[in-house]
Structure 1
Amino acid sequence: MTTKILISRRSIQLLRIMVSGIFLVAGLNHLLNVEKTAQRIEQVNFKGFAYFFGEPQLLVILSGIVMLAAGFFFLIGYKTKLAAIVLVAVLIPITLTVQVGQITSLGPLFKNIAILGGLLFFILNDTKNTQI
């Protein structure tokens, strides 16, 4: 049996806007600070995971472009579920590479877990059919 839960459209819009902000800022940061961001990868315990996918500088540029594009689509509510899936696909390898295994980065690790929770909300729910 499926139970419908009514959720305010305004709360969904606010959640979408607030979650998208981190991707817009991070994507822009990746593109404006390619070397600095790539150097962070060199300092982490699981840098081999990043190298499995390619050179850090290229990964930083590609992830920056994807985060900006998908973050913008997520922000404006265009193809929200697809944008959320793309953002999860980018966030998981970043989290596994940069945050996991870094005892000093437990805060950012759990921040990413919270962001993943927000994205999963949009992946798992039909946010188009909500009350105003």
Structure 2
Amino acid sequence: MTNNIQINRRSIQLLRVLLSGIFLVAGSNHLLNTTQTVRRLEQASFKGIAYFFGEPETLVLLSGILMLIAGFLFLIGYKTRWAAIVLGLILVPITLTVQVGQINTLGPLFKNIAILGGLLFFMINDTEKSFKIK
């Protein structure tokens, strides 16, 4: 007995393309508006999480570079699982540092949770082998 699920190849591509956009925009923003991004990080309720990993400016630049690289690889579908893992590893500390603690603006927190859900789909599933893709 097989447990194959049929998923349209275009739906997977569309999910990947739409999901990658936020990382390409955020990565660009980290690199082009580093000072503003660092300032936002320094004002975050849980900024201590970021300081645990290093200097804020270095973290912003590094995360920007990684988001652009992994976001682009994710966009084109190259090493998708690994790109999703890298993006998830960037998203979780950013979410914990910046969005958690902003009780009056829960939208961004749940946006990041939804994005993480999309990334988890690609982390868990080998989209070329786990499904009968039509």
TM-score, normalization by structure 2: 0.95
Aligned to 2:95, what secondary structure does the other structure show? helix
Q: Give the corresponding residue for 1:103.
A: 103
Using the TM superposition, name which of 97-106 and 112-121 deviates more.
97-106
Q: For residue 51 of structure 2, what is the aligned residue in structure 1? A: 51
List structure 1 segments (4+ residues) > 3 angstroms apart after TM superposition: none
Question: What displacement does 1:2 show?
Answer: 5.6
Could you give the per-residue CA deviations for residues 67-92 of structure 1, whole angstroms, max 9, x where no partner exists?
00000000000000000000000000
1:61 corresponds to which residue?
61
- 94 and 2 in structure 1: CA distance in 2 versus 1, 3 angstrom threshold: farther
User: What are the equivalent positions in structure 2 for 1:16-95 lying under 5 Å apart?
Assistant: 16-95=16-95
Identical pairs, percent: 71
Secondary structure of 1:95 counterpart: helix
> For the residues of structure 1 that align with 2:86 and 2:22, how far apart are their CA atoms?
14
Which residue does the alignment assign to 2:133? 131
SS of residue in 2 equivalent to 1:127: coil
**Aligned mates of 1:2, 1:99 — CA distance in 2:** 41
- Partner-residue secondary structure (3-state), 2:21: helix
Count of residues in correspondence between the two structures: 132
- Report the 3-state secondary structure (helix = DSSP H, G, I; strand = E; otherwise coil) of the residue aligned with 1:104: coil
How far apart in 2 are the matches of 1:104 and 1:35? 25
Q: Deviations over 1:44-84 (max 9, x none)?
A: 11011110111111100000000000000000000000000
Could you state the TM-score of these two structures normalised by the residue count of structure 1?
Answer: 0.96
Give the distance between the partners of 1:128 and 1:3, measured in 2 at CA. Answer: 15
**RMSD (Å) for aligned C-alpha atoms:** 1.1
Q: CA 1:7–1:39 in structure 2 vs 1: closer, same or farther (change >3 Å)?
A: same
Q: Which runs of 5+ in 2 are unaligned?
A: none
The CA deviation at 1:32 is: 0.2
- Residues 75-111 of structure 1 deviation map (CA, whole Å, 9 limit, x = unaligned): 0000000000000000000000000011133100000
